[in-house]
Amino acid sequence: MRILLLDTNHPLIEEQLSEKGFVFDADYTSSYDEVLDKIQNYEGIIIRSRIPLDQNFLIKASHLKFIARVGAGMENIDIETAENLGIKLINSPEGNRDSVAEHVIGMLLILMNRLFIASNEVKNGIWKREENRGDELLGKTFGIIGYGNMGKATAKRLSGFGVEVIFHDILPDLSDEFATQVSLEELQKRADILSLHIPLTNETHYLIDEEFISKMEKNFYFVNTARGKNLKTKALVQAIESGKVLGACLDVLEYEKSSFENLETENQDLKYLLDSEKVIVTPHIGGWTHQSKEKLAQVIVDKILADFKN
């Protein structure tokens, strides 16, 4: 099988699959139209986020047997068209679930204990103790929306922090030793912290908006390591200003490019978040550890080989 690589990934993908007889071409720079001109020559494609695989692209890819997405989110792929054309869709959320979970905990600890603020103050000769009192995780109720690979890994990491973990998911009967499934209404009533672990779909676009936030009974901390457009940024800004949201940890932003490589726009809402001491912002690196790069790649290789013996 001839496979086209559209994004750089861990070299083990090419190394291990080449040993099994797969043939690779790499193209990390061509535009959508340039790739479209040659996609009919390939039976497999391995991507991250650089080029959208829309209906037009998939119809032109007349010999394509699989699309492998190194990562979790599949929003850059026209899933319905791919399935109708019999193209196998492969992703690897198992590969970076641990790094995402650790990132959630790390951001929360930094935010709730003012670690970044206090460290910068001391480095600048400022010694404030009372002003930098922290807020403990112990005793809080941690609410998760989306209990797949990322949500479960996060709940597992929280098991030693003395928090009660509850979650809401569209699938039933997912409770385990680390978290209890509840209705969305119960989560909104009880959660002190809200963390998103959901894909971006028509149903989850702007899931967290003014109406959702108004239904949260407690003032709460908000964490988003899912997708930027799961959150309506303006609603978050208003909630921070009013005190409804005590602080936010954002690894993803509504204003990211679809490739996640940078911001595509700037505005006053974004400026507010970047200037606020109540907000931690990172550049979509929750699943971006040295270990996850290798694990993501290995999961992709294993899944390709399970379905396609060259």
Phi, psi of 215 (to 5 degrees): -85, -5
Whether 205 is catalytic: no
Which residues are 91's β-sheet partners? 69
Distance CA 191, CA 225 (A): 18
Considering 14, 103, 227, 254, which one is annotated as catalytic?
A: 227
Contact 208, 222 (CB under 8 A): yes
Distance CA 190, CA 132 (A): 26
Whether 256 is catalytic: yes
Distance CA 161, CA 144 (A): 15
The radius of gyration computed from the CA coordinates of the chain, to the nearest angstrom, equals 21
Contact 53, 30 (CB under 8 A): no
**Tokens encoding 186:** 């119960």
Phi, psi of 89 (to 5 degrees): -105, 130
Contact 225, 153 (CB under 8 A): no
Considering 48, 69, 157, 284, which one is annotated as catalytic?
A: 284
Question: For tokens 């959320």, what's the residue?
Answer: 93
Considering 63, 256, 266, 277, which one is annotated as catalytic?
A: 256
User: Helices marked H in 50-173 — which ranges?
Assistant: 55-60, 79-84, 97-112, 115-123, 149-157
What secondary structure letter does DSSP report for 252? Answer: S
Sort residue 16 into left (φ over 0), alpha (ψ -120 to 50) or beta. Answer: alpha
Whether 227 is catalytic: yes
**Nearest in space to 71 (alpha carbons), one of 227, 203, 248, 257:** 227
Residues assigned a catalytic role:
227, 256, 284
